[in-house]
Amino acid sequence: MHVLGILVICTALLGFVFTLPMVTRVETDPELTAGFVEGDMILDINLRNGLRDKVYKWPNNTVYYKFQTKFDEAHHNHILRGMKIIEDVSCIRFEEATENTPHYVNITGNPGGCSSTVGYRSNRSQNYNLQLYPLDEGCFRLGTIVHEFLHTLGFYHMQSSANRDDYVFINETNIQDGKLHNFNKYDTETVDDFDQGYDYGSVLHYSAFAFSANGEMTIVPLKEAEAAGIMGQRRGMSKSDIDRLNLMYRCPVKV
């Protein structure tokens, strides 16, 4: 390629970057502070395994759990409310584990943010932590409780999708030092979108300011101008979140 052609391309790319929205915000989301993969995902498996591997789906679509932390009644019920949200839109069921249940989720309220093991782990307990916050704040936003349970059920973050570069620009210059790995993109052998397409409004999407070093956007939407205000919403599951869950677990269609 001629030097002139290279200069034209570089100039066009620079022009694109400098025309991206210059919205700023400092973010301290507890989903990002737990110190695991992408902030809140506990992975102890080869990353080639993920949504596509059936072994990491909960058998009989049932998640067993134990409360290892003695939450007050309001926080306890808020977590149960998050389970009910998922049950109401799918065939997933949550059941309290007994002494003889070999595989279950340990629900704790320890310091260190919000986190969950991703997917089912057979014959042992696995982690699910919600640092104590007032109701509807931090880890005790209902959307965050659901977000972490979706990790438990085997889902990765939306911005990890193989096609994410068609929908968002990852602005590495704004990302905190040492945090770039949290923006990994996985191929279609790892993460399946079940033909639902990219969803800015997914409860599993990072916000536009995740891991920002300077208050400026680290994830910039490319398709919809208003998407920056939608990304990272924790009000509840989007339609495509619900559809993905039902497709992954082969739930019957509700009429």
State whether residue 20 is helix, strand or coil.
Answer: coil
Distance of alpha carbon 197 from alpha carbon 230, whole angstroms: 16
State whether residue 175 is helix, strand or coil.
Answer: strand
Our answer to whether residue 189 is catalytic in this structure is no
Distance of alpha carbon 32 from alpha carbon 231, whole angstroms: 15
Distance of alpha carbon 233 from alpha carbon 91, whole angstroms: 24
Exposed / middle / buried, residue 173 (Cβ in 10 Å: 0-12, 13-18, 19+): exposed
Given 27, 148, 224, 226, which residue is catalytic?
A: 148
Which residues, in sequence order, are CB contacts of 137 under 8 Å at separation 6+? none
Exposed / middle / buried, residue 251 (Cβ in 10 Å: 0-12, 13-18, 19+): middle
For residue 139, what are the CA distances in angstroms to 55, 75, 148, 164, 203? 28, 11, 9, 26, 13
Catalytic residue IDs: 148
